[in-house]
Structure 1
């Protein structure tokens, strides 16, 4: 089992035969497709929101009749094409995991900072069990992030290199604000 690529499928195959292994593998593939779909929907809209706030090129504000941010989607696809030669699907997902966890940490940190700096701002959404629930999620995210760095140092270094390389690109493409 330790050398298995998909231990759950191997365990099901031992318990229920070949069909059990195939069923678990099929569910794993379906869940991977769901994650990829979420990434493809989330990332262009993040670029769109950054452009709307003046933190990314205003070209990313272009949407088609259906409301899809087409330029942001093209940028996302271009970055994906650049990343593909970097390695395997597992490596790309590891890089995504690094940035997803880091994003959670930054978002929750921003929630605390905004509530402290601007306590009188209207709140368009409620944060359940504030500050305890977000603090719990923040602590778990920090633990996951540290665990990720310790257990997958090489991909963490790749992610940091990508982050460092993206900053000059951001400065080059960022519109003048104010």
Structure 2
């Protein structure tokens, strides 16, 4: 008898995972888009990206409810687009989920280093990898329970920040130097706008561990995207409104070295950097990073497991631990790749690489949705995307434009991404035979 994944997840657990995958994007990284586009340019990019993610979430929910498999887009594409496209989509998904955690791990190490300067950023990040990979190996119920607690704390802290910042909001800060690089800046800001929402599709990768996937996944996706859209608007407006966009991009508030800590920079202008609320935000801010780091490790494990089960990766990655009923080999393999990426020290480039994978995933998933409607109109669909085909077409348009923009502004990383796809595909064609 084959060992299967354990079904334990509820709608609330799915909400916590969905928000947890993403929430670190509210804490760091997004502010670097302001350097590219200013307040207006970043706002335009964020609005378009938010629209894409809302319509994508509705569309992806239909696929996840109709085909509740741990492989996500790999399984959806395999059903209607053939094995080759399914493999490419699986690689894209793996790139997204495996390369996002190292960037977050580096931020976790930086947080500890801020409080304990003697603590090495890299060593702390590696310890975090070992700790949370181990937690995910023990069992999905323990991992999901931890994620629920840590996500609720992270959401609460963001709301606390908004509550502190709102009385100091000044609308003039939103319009000052708002469009410094014109439309080119708005397009260049797209990857950082995507970082606000990157990873929410990971809910679909735990479908096989959900008690009632056809019913519960739509609730988890819906509650998660509503929460994230609300937090995105509140955090963006309140952080920029305190002192203007330059104040939360540059460490000295004017120009020079950029910062990955927009919320502490904004709060320091209100309370100073010795106030108890400032230190509370810094301390609890770690929860947001941990929530996303831990959640993405979980989703990445399921993605790699499904690729291994299909023999597109070495078969060992498709094995389930008989003791814990989790994809232990896939989790360990992902950790090793993540640590190697972490040692490169190129955090911004790793984030951009992950975004390339995500956008490829979105485009292929929407094509699969449209083809599945045509090929299997009678397939049981517990949830149907509203306003079909408008929603998936909108995702396709925004996704393709975003990919083109990414290649234009990040062509070196784009070439690395294409090389990963090409080498993986060649090896797939050789060894699959």
TM over 0.5, shorter chain = yes
Aligned to 1:149: 407
2:269 equivalent in structure 1: 14
Which aligned pairs between 1:1-178 and structure 2 lie closer than 5 A? 1=246, 2-3=249-250, 4-5=258-259, 6-18=261-273, 19=275, 22=279, 25-26=282-283, 29-64=286-321, 65-120=323-378, 122-129=379-386, 130-174=388-432, 176=433
1:45-72 per-residue CA deviation (whole Å, 9 max, x = no partner) reads 1122233445444332211132211222
- Whole-angstrom CA distance in 2 between matches of 1:103 and 1:115: 18
Partner in structure 1 of residue 229 of structure 2? none
When normalised by structure 1's length, the TM-score is 0.77
**Distance (Å, rounded) in 2 between the aligned partners of 1:100 and 1:10:** 29
Contact 1:10 1:21 in 2 (8 A): no
- Deviation of the 1:99 alpha carbon: 0.9
Kept after mapping to 1: 8 A contact 2:311/2:318 = no
Report the 3-state secondary structure (helix = DSSP H, G, I; strand = E; otherwise coil) of the residue aligned with 1:157. Answer: helix
Q: Which runs of 5+ in 1 are unaligned?
A: none
Post-superposition Cα deviations, 1:121-174, rounded to whole Å, max 9, x if no partner, equal x23442321322333333333343333333333322222222223223333553
Decide whether aligned partners of structure 1 residues 74 and 139 sit closer, same or farther in structure 2, where only a CA change above 3 A counts: same
State the alpha-carbon separation in 2 of the partners of residues 25 and 141 from structure 1. 34
In 1, Cα distance between equivalents of 2:394 and 2:302: 27
Residues 85 and 162 of structure 1: is their aligned pair in 2 closer, same or farther, counting only changes over 3 Å?
Answer: farther
Aligned counterparts of 2:431 and 2:280: Cα–Cα separation in 1: 47
Change (3 A) 1:138 1:87: same
CA RMSD of aligned residues (A): 2.8
With over 3 angstroms needed to count, the CA separation of the structure-2 counterparts of 1:86 and 1:110, relative to structure 1, is farther
Q: CA deviation at 1:116?
A: 2.1
User: Unpaired runs of 5+ in structure 2?
Assistant: 1-245, 251-257
> What is the CA distance between 1:73 and its match in structure 2?
1.7
Distance in 2 of aligned mates of 1:38 and 1:51: 20
Alpha-carbon distance between aligned partners in 2 of 1:25 and 1:114, rounded to the nearest angstrom:
46
Distance 2:417 2:339 in 1: 16
TM-score (norm 2): 0.36
8 Å contact 1:9–1:21 — kept in the other structure?
Answer: yes
Deviation at 1:28, TM superposition (A): 5.2
Q: SS state of the match for residue 166, structure 1?
A: helix
